[in-house]
A and B are shown apart, each in its own frame.
Chain A
Amino acid sequence: MNAPANASGNARDAILKSVRDALRRDPLDATQVAALDARVPRHTRPAHDEDLVTRFMRKFESRAGTIERVASRDAVPAAVEAYRLAHRLPQRAAVGAALKDLAWPDGWLIHHEAAGITEALAVSRALCGIAETGSLMLASGPHSPTTHNFVPDDHVVVLETARIVDHFEDGWTELRARPEGMPRATNIISGPSRTADVEQTIQLGAHGPRRVHVILVG
């Protein structure tokens, strides 16, 4: 590497010193550090009195997302097939390995790898749903590659109603509970990709999926 680690080290110390000089103090002592580390943030969360599933659905649909409810996980492949037919998509999909065990229709070309540039449809399982804003939270990993969320035109996301939490903070609790720690990418998705960069006109399907469809299980 050209840039020696040393230079960065010097810059680090210089910046931290400049920060402390500005604050007119020495580095914090152990007691102060311990107090900061023990700090528990308590911020106001927007209040609402809606049922979580109702709120999630209302909010998600308000941002051009679509939802279909099914009774059980077994019904997911048929729901995906119906979606595929409705949008005249080819019989192939990138399916997160988290949904590998489902009975996918015969004749479908299914893979569990990362999405390629020509990928048309991906099916993923969400870690949870956030009722506050009607958002999906997906954690990257071998069972749910990030490219599935952004490359295809159509993204179908399976979400169990029991996994809908109230606020963002409850979503973070889900993340912290993972034995494998933080995923490389945590994607919070609120509907299809959009842009308003040309004359403030909202246009769906900027770079990410043109459509995001939730199959709500339970």
Chain B
Amino acid sequence: MQIRSDEFKERSVFAIHDANLQTALGRARYGFVGKRAQQVADLPEFEQLREEAKNLKNHVLDNLDHYLARYEQAVVASGGQVHWARDAEEARKIILGICKRVGAKTVTKGKSMVSEEIDLNEALIDNGMEVVETDLGEYIIQLAHEPPSHIIAPAVHKTKDQVSDLFEAAHGGPRKTQVPELVDEARRVLRDKYFRADVGITGGNFLVAETGSSIIVTNEGNGDLTQTLAKVHIVTSGIERVVPTLDDATLFLRLLARSATGQETETYTTISTGPRRADDLDGPEEYHVVLVDNGRSKMLAGRFRDMLRCIRCGACMNHCPVYGAVGGHAYGWVYPGPMGSVLTPLIKGLDAAYDLPNACTLNGRCQSVCPVKIPLPELLRELRHLQHQQNITPVMQKRALGIWRWVATRPKLYHALEQLAARALSGIARRGRIRRLPLAGGWTDSRDLPAPTGRTFLELWQGKRGQR
């Protein structure tokens, strides 16, 4: 999809005033956050698992070339093929090449964020293929011609009424209004597609070097029907998703479902190893894995390596107050929320997504729930620093920061100005709040500023010390 992260501010304003979106976001926040908290409370080892997962990911990244090579060997040994793609264009070419070679007319898809990242659907459709998203959430947004707004719940921004409208327009009436009817209708429509599909494309939550397997974790079973019934199964995955052994994958499986949907396990964990065997009665005749770099090996080099630990659970966005207020579409590309605010500038360019790192309030909730302990606020701060260094930061802001720094490094002057500001703000406050702040209307237009008491922290502190 065309990146629109430079419209973050405008899109956020629309999002905040979109009643349907706000209803949907409120519901999601409650569900995901509450269920995850319950799962964490039920597993005393959870913190220990987070620490182990962080260390294991670091080990894999330190030896990524080795594990990728071992993984490739094992895939080939099981009769599958591995393709390597440096960037999105190469990945599209490889997948399009396979689809064309087998004369694909219908392509079914399980949920894959990498396929979104590489703009796969457009490429297949432009070449005359019917592309069918089979995850219910993905199917809904495909009908709406929208990108996903969440990495694990792509249609989380839609209300039931909106889904009813989309289904009625796509499938004809009578209009269904209840969740069971809507789910049944999608089930019936998609059944036929699975059985007709020439190629089935899924993501890969984990790639296992020990066995050459790809693992997907789903609740609906759509990914399984997609890969079992098509003649060809293609897995798209980032190079960082490899793990050494099945036992290592287990560590992440224990964290993934709990962090993502607040379940102890998802309904289906599927380990796929190669194409159908000679005596098998079903399964794809070909099994391909497309390993996508697209900026990942560059990320490995420096201070953003930590980001490659990400297992795409979505906990960071579920707990992010900014995501909770504006939803995923405001972020303007494939990955929203805190992880997206780090990944988008790194993959698409620092200047293409200026606002994303700056929208963060640095409250730290994302880091505190991340199953692999990615220091997201630190990485976002680091991105701001890079923007500043590369002169992407707007001139006015740079100047203001320069003045602030000049003042802040002169304590006497700083405290004097602070005292002045505290008194002035307290003076214009009504009932402890400031409804309109001169020069900062953008901030106070949508909320009140709590007013200072008239004395600075330092003054209060010194007063207290004097009393002792």
Binding site for B on A (CB under 8 A): 1-3, 7-8, 11-12, 14-16, 18-23, 27-28, 32-33, 36-37, 39, 41, 43-44, 46-47, 59, 63, 112-115, 117, 133, 135, 140-142, 145-147, 149-151, 167-169, 172, 175, 181-201, 203, 205-209
- Determine whether the beta carbon of B267 is less than 8 Å from that of A189: yes
**SS of A interface (majority):** loop
Q: Given that A21-B301, A198-B179 are known contacts, is A117 also in contact with B191, CB under 8 Å in the complex?
A: yes
Distance in angstroms from A177 CB to nearest chain B CB is 13
Instruction: Point out the residues of chain B lying under 8 angstroms from A200, CB to CB.
Output: 27-28, 31, 153, 156
Top-10 shortest CB links A-B = A208-B221, A22-B301, A206-B220, A22-B300, A18-B297, A3-B97, A197-B137, A114-B282, A186-B271, A197-B136
Chain A residue with the shortest CB-CB distance to B64: A19
Q: How far is the CA of A1 from the CA of B100 in the complex (A)?
A: 9
Nearest-CB distance from A38 to chain B (Å)? 11
Residues in A with CB closer than 8 Å to B244 are: 36, 39, 41
A-B contact pairs, 10 of them (CB 8 A): A15-B239, A19-B300, A22-B298, A114-B281, A141-B279, A147-B228, A150-B224, A185-B271, A187-B224, A199-B179
Most chain B Cβ neighbours within 10 Å, of A133, A151, A207, A208: A207
User: Which B residues have a C-beta under 8 Å from some C-beta of A?
Assistant: 24, 27-28, 31, 43-45, 48-49, 52, 56, 62-70, 72, 78, 83-86, 90, 93-94, 97-98, 100-101, 134-137, 140, 153-156, 158-160, 163, 179-180, 182-184, 186-187, 190-192, 195, 211, 213, 219-222, 224-225, 227-229, 239, 244-248, 250-251, 253-254, 261, 264-277, 279-283, 291, 293, 297-301, 305
Q: Is the CB of A145 within 8 A of B282?
A: yes
| Cα(A172)–Cα(B249), bound, Å | 11
A190 near B265 (CB under 8 angstroms)? yes
Q: Are A16 and B159 neighbours in the complex by a CB distance under 8 Å?
A: no
User: CB within 8 A of A193: which of B48, B221, B251, B279?
Assistant: B221
B49 A194 Cβ-Cβ under 8 A:
no
A185 touches B270 (CB 8 A): yes
Distance of A182 Cα from B72 Cα, bound (Å) = 16
B183 near A195 (CB under 8 angstroms)? yes
Distance in Å from the Cβ of A41 to the closest Cβ of chain B?
4
B223 → A minimal CB distance (Å)? 9
Cα–Cα distance between A43 and B272 once the two chains are bound (Å)? 23
